[in-house]
Amino acid sequence: MEATPVTQSVTSLGLAAKLPQLTKSTLSRVVVDNPAVRVVCFTLDEGQSIDPHREPDAEVITLLDGELELTVGERTCTVIAGDVVYLAPGERQGWIATKPSRLQQIIVSPGPVG
CATH for 27-108, among 3.90.1150.10, 2.60.120.10, 3.30.230.10, 3.40.605.10?
A: 2.60.120.10
Question: What is the value of pTM for the model shown?
Answer: 0.85
CB 89 within 8 A of CB 49: no
Task: Read off the pLDDT band of 12 (50, 70, 90).
Answer: confident
| Residue pLDDT, tens place only, 41-66 | 999 999 999 999 998 999 999 999 99
Residues 6+ apart with CB under 8 A from 15: 29, 31, 41
Domain boundaries of the chain, sorted by first residue? 27-108
